[in-house]
């Protein structure tokens, strides 16, 4: 990270650009705070920027690329465009990330299972670095065939796709001559176990990287220590989630991308909860701040498909749909009642995320006529597949202490046996 005088100069440049560019927003709540600063403490008094600030952004011809954020729980999509200059500065920042993770000019790398919007800047970054980009498409069988035939030695993918590649190769006793596997975006149940499997089956080292759709990659796993480094092209800080005051304790991570000069993101709120520490490794990273892991999210949002869904919204909407006399999730979230009569399961069916609502049959029978209304209304509102499953009182009692269960990233042998039994009884063909 730059020394304070240079950093303040850079931040003042961003604030000046923000004053101009934010005028394109219909709601410019930040303009009065974007004056010149004389110290870092001045900068830290500016309210964080959030995705909500970009709901009504007016695009103009000067923007050449639009980073598409995920839909929120109300179906709104923040629009965070980039000018051509900012786009190539973003690409340069990604080049630095890939270099730091060990990608070389001689590598043949495939970007597996990303959306086209995500793939474009990644490929630009890899080609600018000098690496060879190898296209792989289709189902896991075709992808693995391409990885083998085209002699790919580095892959960048999601954790869930990596698991499918490993399982496919193991079931067919196939081998890949990989050197490095980079994963992102999804939580890893047991990272050390996954690293051993990647080494055994793929012959490669595993590195995890973290980012957001609005900023891109912001941190990567340290090869020496059990922690994550920030990219040097970012200014980072943590604040108390409630007061928004800067804190040295665990807090919400705010990021200012220093590369984003034409349409800056000032103290962008990632909603990731981390505890910043000083680095103790020998890595040649200028920023001496690290964190061990993302401790959680500031809200109850979870990613389902391409949307971020707030489970509190599910709570209120479902309660409204079923009716007040049947408190479907009161004791699930608020713990008011002595026993639960409702539980949520996030799973994956034929590679599509789905929300399963488990309900005790004896208490739901008189609401069967509303089953279709409930599922269709929730599905339309939250842009996800929804299914209601009725359980016996005995089976439902085994779920009674769970707020919700997310088994999309958990290996089958790590799912509780009682839950597997329930799923099997319901003949649910989930990709566990």
Closest CA to 382 of 160, 115, 70: 70
Tokens representing 58 are 């007016």
CA atoms within 13 A on the CB side of 400: 13
Q: Is the pLDDT of residue 60 over 80?
A: no
Q: Is residue 97 part of a domain?
A: yes
Based on the domain organization, do 416 and 333 belong to the same domain?
A: yes
Residues 410, 363: Cα–Cα separation, whole Å: 31
Q: pLDDT band at 58, cuts 50/70/90?
A: low
Burial 162-179 (b: 16+ CB within 10 A, else e): bbbbbebbeeeeeebebb
Based on the domain organization, do 288 and 335 belong to the same domain?
A: no
Tens digit of each residue's pLDDT (9 = 90 or more) over 156-192: 999 889 989 999 999 999 888 899 999 997 777 778 8
Q: Is residue 356 part of a domain?
A: yes
Q: Is the pLDDT of residue 224 over 70?
A: yes
Mean pLDDT of 384-395: 83
Closest CA to 348 of 186, 201, 194: 186
Q: Is residue 431 part of a domain?
A: no
Q: Is residue 9 part of a domain?
A: no
Based on the domain organization, do 210 and 114 belong to the same domain?
A: yes
Based on the domain organization, do 344 and 290 belong to the same domain?
A: no
Q: Is the pLDDT of residue 325 over 50?
A: no
Q: pLDDT band at 24, cuts 50/70/90?
A: low
Closest CA to 313 of 224, 384, 366, 255: 384
* CATH code of the domain in which 223 resides: 3.40.50.12780
* CATH code of the domain in which 371 resides: 3.30.300.30
Based on the domain organization, do 203 and 306 belong to the same domain?
A: no
> Are the CB atoms for 259 and 86 separated by under 8 Å?
yes
Position 367 scores a pLDDT of 58
Domain end, chosen from 265, 298, 331, is at: 298
Q: Is residue 153 part of a domain?
A: yes
Model-level pTM? Answer: 0.73
Q: Cα dihedral angle (135, 138, 140, 141), rounded to 10 degrees?
A: -100
| E strands, 275-373, in order | 277-278, 289-291, 296-297, 301-304, 307-310, 342-349, 352-360
Tokens representing 406 are 């997310």
Within 10 angstroms of residue 225's Cβ, the number of other Cβ atoms is 15
Based on the domain organization, do 398 and 341 belong to the same domain?
A: yes
Q: Is the pLDDT of residue 308 over 80?
A: no
Position 365 scores a pLDDT of 59
94 versus 299: which is more confidently predicted? 94
Within 10 angstroms of residue 266's Cβ, the number of other Cβ atoms is 23
- Strand order in 205-212's β-sheet? 132-133, 108-112, 154-158, 180-184, 205-212, 216-221, 228-230, 289-291, 277-278
Position 65 scores a pLDDT of 76
Q: Is the pLDDT of residue 323 over 80?
A: no
User: 140-149 and 159-171 are packed helices; what angle lies between their axes, rounded to 10 degrees?
Assistant: 80
Tens digit of each residue's pLDDT (9 = 90 or more) over 234-288: 999 999 988 899 999 999 999 999 999 998 999 999 989 999 999 888 887 888 8
Helices (H), 280-355: 311-322
Q: Is residue 74 part of a domain?
A: no
Q: How far is CA 100 from CA 126, 166, 255, 289, in A?
A: 13, 25, 19, 15
Pairing of strands 132-133, 154-158: unpaired
Q: How far is CA 19 from CA 191, 215, 262, 340, in A?
A: 43, 20, 10, 51
Q: How far is CA 213 from CA 71, 221, 289, 290, 409, in A?
A: 11, 18, 22, 21, 20
Residues 44, 52: Cα–Cα separation, whole Å: 20
Based on the domain organization, do 284 and 340 belong to the same domain?
A: no
Tokens representing 319 are 């309660």
Q: pLDDT band at 327, cuts 50/70/90?
A: very low
Based on the domain organization, do 292 and 306 belong to the same domain?
A: no
Helix H or strand E segment including 66: strand 63-68
Q: What are phi and psi of 294, to 5 degrees?
A: -80, 120
Cα angle 120-179-165, degrees, rounded to a multiple of 5: 70
Residues 187, 162: Cα–Cα separation, whole Å: 12
Position 74 scores a pLDDT of 55
Residues 261, 10: Cα–Cα separation, whole Å: 9
Domain end, chosen from 241, 273, 298, is at: 298
Closest CA to 100 of 295, 281, 276, 271: 281
Position 183 scores a pLDDT of 96
> Are the CB atoms for 78 and 68 separated by under 8 Å?
no
Q: Is residue 362 part of a domain?
A: yes
Tens digit of each residue's pLDDT (9 = 90 or more) over 90-148: 999 999 999 999 999 999 999 998 888 889 999 999 999 999 999 998 999 999 999 99
169 versus 65: which is more confidently predicted? 169
Based on the domain organization, do 318 and 404 belong to the same domain?
A: yes
Closest CA to 353 of 311, 309, 385: 385
Domain end, chosen from 254, 275, 298, is at: 298
Render 231-250 in DSSP notation, one character per residue: PTTEEEEEE-TTT--B-SSS
Tens digit of each residue's pLDDT (9 = 90 or more) over 361-371: 776 655 566 77
Based on the domain organization, do 327 and 266 belong to the same domain?
A: no
What's the whole-number average pLDDT of the chain? 81
**Where in the sequence is the domain holding 212, given as residue range(s)?**
83-298
Q: Is residue 94 part of a domain?
A: yes
Report the domain count for the chain. 2
> Are the CB atoms for 317 and 377 separated by under 8 Å?
yes
Based on the domain organization, do 347 and 290 belong to the same domain?
A: no
Based on the domain organization, do 121 and 232 belong to the same domain?
A: yes
Share of the chain above pLDDT 90, in %: 40
């Amino acid at each position: 990270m730059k020394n304070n005088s240079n950093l303040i100069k850079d931040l003042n440049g961003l604030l000046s650009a923000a004053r101009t560019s934010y005028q394109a927003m219909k709601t410019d709540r930040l303009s009065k705070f974007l004056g010149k600063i004389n110290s870092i403490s001045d900068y830290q008094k500016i309210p964080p920027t959030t995705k909500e600030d970009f709901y009504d952004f007016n695009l103009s011809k000067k923007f050449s690329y639009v980073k598409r954020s995920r839909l929120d729980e109300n179906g709104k999509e923040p629009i965070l465009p980039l000018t051509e200059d900012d786009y190539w500065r973003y690409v340069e920042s990604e080049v630095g990330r890939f270099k730091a993770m060990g990608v070389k000019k001689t590598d043949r790398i495939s970007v597996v299972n990303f959306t086209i919007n995500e793939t474009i800047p990644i490929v630009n970054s890899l080609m600018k670095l000098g690496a060879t980009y190898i296209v792989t498409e289709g189902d896991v069988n075709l992808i693995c065939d391409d990885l083998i035939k085209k002699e790919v030695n580095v892959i960048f993918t999601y954790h869930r796709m990596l698991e499918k590649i490993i399982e496919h190769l193991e079931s067919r006793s196939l081998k890949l001559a990989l050197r490095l596997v980079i994963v992102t975006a999804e939580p890893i149940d047991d990272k050390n176990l996954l690293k051993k499997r990647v080494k055994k089956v793929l012959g490669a080292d595993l590195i995890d990287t973290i980012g957001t759709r609005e900023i891109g990659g912001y941190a990567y796993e340290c090869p020496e220590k059990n922690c994550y480094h920030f990219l040097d092209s970012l200014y980072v800080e943590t604040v108390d989630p409630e007061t928004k005051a800067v804190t040295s304790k665990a807090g919400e991570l705010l990021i200012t991308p220093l590369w984003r000069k034409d349409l800056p993101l000032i103290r962008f709120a990632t909603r990731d909860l981390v505890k910043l520490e000083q680095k103790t490794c020998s890595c040649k990273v200028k920023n001496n701040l690290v964190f061990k892991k993302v401790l959680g999210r500031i809200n109850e949002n979870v990613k389902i498909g391409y949307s971020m869904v707030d489970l509190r919204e599910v709570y209120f909407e479902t309660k409204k749909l079923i009716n007040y006399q049947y408190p479907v999730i009161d004791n699930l979230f608020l713990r008011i009642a002595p026993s639960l009569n409702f539980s949520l399961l996030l799973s994956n069916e034929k590679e599509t995320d789905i929300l399963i609502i488990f309900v005790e049959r004896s208490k739901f029978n008189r609401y069967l006529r509303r089953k279709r209304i409930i599922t269709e209304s929730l599905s339309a509102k939250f842009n996800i597949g929804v299914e209601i499953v009725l359980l016996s009182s005995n089976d439902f009692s085994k779920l009674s202490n769970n707020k919700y269960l997310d088994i999309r990233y958990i290996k089958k042998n790590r799912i509780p046996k009682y839950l597997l039994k329930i799923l099997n009884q319901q003949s649910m063909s989930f990709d566990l």
